[in-house]
């Protein structure tokens, strides 16, 4: 009994000491991020010197070169570019649209082509409009009511959901598959209400897909601002016979070569166990991609920078991966996982930041129960930094192809309330990112990586094959 008590005492003592050491390490990480962090400086360059970084664009290439040069300057063990072929879609001349209540009487409305859409005819496309609340309405209406018309998808994001990502999920099928589905009923084009919870004049672009629609049956698709959608809907209620005109000359080019940008600190004890932190370097072209996902890139770079600055040498290999082409292809994420499998690399942990540079609230985890239990044991360490959310859920698009490795996948969860005000729109710009919020996110990521590195994951996953 006595011996057990003593052991218990020593055990508690050890936990006590460990806790104190972890607490200190957290404080060191956060202090460094908030005083000597580089994330905001890097984001300034990405946003204001380079700008929107659509896959295949000059800006995307500039971003590859800039981030590689910055990683080169951090004294990492290795920095390299991983080639990947990416789609190249170009918006072309600014889009133009109006509502025609009667011939000659028109009201301009703000639209933008959806990413991947075909162009309208050069002189534009004018047709009557049929408003629907979602893809499921098409079958009810049938070809007779849709043929020859523009389908207007107008189901708004649900404002009563607290997570705006959940609201987004409930709408985005209209944008992604709306054109392919409407084409089946003879529609000539589609207009989609922007995925935003605000009423304003910004159209929000984003990826769409024609699926297996034959090329000659593909119809142009554009997003309309939420104010524009409200106007169009009201106008249609007054007169269902009004016409809508839009013109866009976007175009898909052959794939081009681009790169994932990767930097690595080799693990001192278990170099074969790889942890990655990442975001996606590409962005849409309307804004400068500060929140989506410049923020995630610079926060991920910052994790390695912070470890260097505080002199923390990870036991496991730590990589930052800046993925190319998350927005319209996920080619970078797929390529990274493919190469990892080819090389028989063993990934134990992957953390993505792709939900904006807002105040961090926690993480979501895609992992087994044992690992989630271990993580829940760490939450008290995060409490002083107001990090409260540790939930099961999705992680990040770019790291999801690694899932076969049965590793711990995680996504940073910043405050989501304002994310879709800016998402894929002209106002996703640098001035809407707050320096401290960005830095707190980076520190929060670094703190989790520190714990994963120190304590390891539970039942390290076996590499496939």
Task: Give the chain's end-to-end CA distance (angstroms, integer).
Answer: 49
Give the three-class secondary structure for 31: helix
234 binding a copy of itself? (CB under 8 A) = no
Q: Exactly one of 326, 345, 352, 439 is catalytic; name it.
A: 326
Rank residues 374 and 417 by Cβ distance to a copy of itself and give the closer one: 417
15 binding a copy of itself? (CB under 8 A) = no
Pairing of strands 125-132, 243-247: antiparallel
42 binding a copy of itself? (CB under 8 A) = no
293 binding a copy of itself? (CB under 8 A) = no
159 binding a copy of itself? (CB under 8 A) = yes
440 binding a copy of itself? (CB under 8 A) = yes
239 binding a copy of itself? (CB under 8 A) = no
CA 221 to chain centre: 22
Which positions from 353 to 372 touch a copy of itself by CB under 8 A, shown as an x/- string? ------x-x-----------
Report the C-alpha gap between 267 and 252 in whole angstroms.
42
Give the three-class secondary structure for 80: strand
Q: How far is the CB of 71 from a copy of itself (least distance, A)?
A: 25
Report the C-alpha gap between 376 and 53 in whole angstroms.
37
Distances (CA, A) of 189 to 110, 119, 124, 247, 361: 16, 10, 11, 11, 40
Rank residues 200 and 255 by Cβ distance to a copy of itself and give the closer one: 200
310 binding a copy of itself? (CB under 8 A) = no
DSSP letter (8 states) at residue 286: S
Selected binder of a copy of itself within 124, 435, 455, 456 (CB under 8 A): 435
155 binding a copy of itself? (CB under 8 A) = no
384 binding a copy of itself? (CB under 8 A) = yes
Report the C-alpha gap between 415 and 165 in whole angstroms.
11
How many of the chain's residues bind a copy of itself (CB under 8 A)?
A: 26
DSSP string, 40-78: HHHHHIIIIII----TTSHHHHHHHHHHHHHHHTTT-SE
227 binding a copy of itself? (CB under 8 A) = no
Type and span of the H or E element at 456:
none
Type and span of the H or E element at 143:
helix 136-146
- Is 326 among the residues known to form the active site? yes
Give the three-class secondary structure for 387: coil
Beta strands in 103-155 (DSSP E): 105-108, 111-113, 125-132, 150-153
By CB under 8 A, the residues from 163 to 222 that bind a copy of itself are 164, 197-198
421 binding a copy of itself? (CB under 8 A) = yes
Selected binder of a copy of itself within 3, 4, 5, 35 (CB under 8 A): 35
Selected binder of a copy of itself within 78, 102, 313, 436 (CB under 8 A): 436
Distances (CA, A) of 97 to 92, 124, 150, 334: 15, 9, 13, 37
Stretch that binds a copy of itself, among 63-71, 130-138, 251-259, 385-393 (CB under 8 A): 385-393
Selected binder of a copy of itself within 20, 69, 108, 434 (CB under 8 A): 434
Residues that bind a copy of itself (CB under 8 A): 30-31, 34-35, 159-160, 162, 164, 197-198, 359, 361, 384-386, 388-389, 415, 417-418, 421, 434-437, 440
Q: Which residues are catalytic?
A: 326
């Amino acid at each position: 009994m006595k011996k057990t008590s003593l052991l218990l005492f020593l055990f508690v003592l050890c936990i006590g000491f460990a806790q104190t050491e972890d607490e200190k390490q957290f404080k060191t990480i956060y202090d460094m991020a908030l005083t000597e962090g580089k994330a905001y400086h890097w984001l300034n360059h990405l946003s204001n010197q380079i700008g929107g970084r659509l896959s295949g664009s000059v800006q995307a290439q500039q971003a590859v070169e800039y981030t590689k040069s910055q990683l080169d300057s951090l004294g990492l063990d290795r920095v390299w570019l991983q080639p990947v072929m990416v789609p190249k879609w170009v918006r072309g001349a600014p889009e133009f649209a109006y509502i025609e209540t009667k011939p000659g009487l028109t009201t301009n409305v703000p639209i933008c082509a959806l990413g991947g859409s075909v162009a309208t005819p050069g002189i534009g496309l004018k047709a009557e409009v049929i408003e629907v609340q979602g893809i499921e309405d098409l079958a009810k209406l049938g070809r007779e009511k849709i043929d020859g018309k523009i389908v207007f998808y107008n189901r708004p994001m649900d404002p009563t959901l607290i997570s705006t990502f959940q609201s987004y999920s409930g709408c985005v099928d209209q944008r992604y598959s709306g054109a392919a589905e409407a084409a089946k009923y003879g529609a000539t084009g589609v207009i989609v209400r922007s995925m935003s919870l605000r009423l304003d004049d910004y159209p929000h672009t984003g990826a769409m897909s024609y699926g297996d629609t034959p090329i000659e049956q593909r119809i142009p698709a554009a997003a309309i601002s939420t104010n524009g959608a409200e106007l169009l809907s009201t106008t249609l209620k007054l007169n269902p016979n009004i016409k809508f005109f839009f013109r866009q000359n976007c175009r898909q080019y052959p794939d081009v070569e681009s790169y994932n940008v990767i930097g690595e600190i080799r693990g001192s004890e278990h170099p074969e166990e790889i942890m990655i932190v990442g975001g996606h370097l590409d962005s849409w072209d309307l804004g400068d991609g500060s929140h989506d996902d410049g923020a995630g890139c610079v926060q991920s770079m910052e994790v390695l920078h912070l470890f260097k600055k505080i002199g923390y040498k990870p036991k496991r290999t730590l990589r930052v991966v800046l993925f190319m082409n998350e927005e319209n292809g996920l080619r970078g994420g797929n390529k990274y996982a493919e190469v990892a499998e080819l090389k028989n690399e063993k990934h134990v942990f992957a953390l993505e930041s792709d939900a904006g540079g807002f105040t961090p609230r926690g993480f979501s985890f895609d992992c087994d129960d044992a690992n989630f239990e271990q993580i829940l044991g760490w939450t008290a360490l995060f409490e002083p930094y107001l990090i409260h959310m540790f939930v099961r859920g999705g992680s990040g698009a770019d790291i999801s192809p690694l899932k076969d490795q049965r590793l711990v996948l995680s996504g940073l969860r910043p405050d989501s309330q304002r994310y879709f005000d800016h998402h894929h729109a002209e106002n996703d710009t640098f001035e809407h990112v707050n320096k401290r919020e960005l830095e707190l996110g980076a520190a929060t990521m670094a703190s989790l990586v520190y714990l994963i590195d120190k304590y390891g994951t539970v039942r390290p996953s076996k590499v496939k094959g």
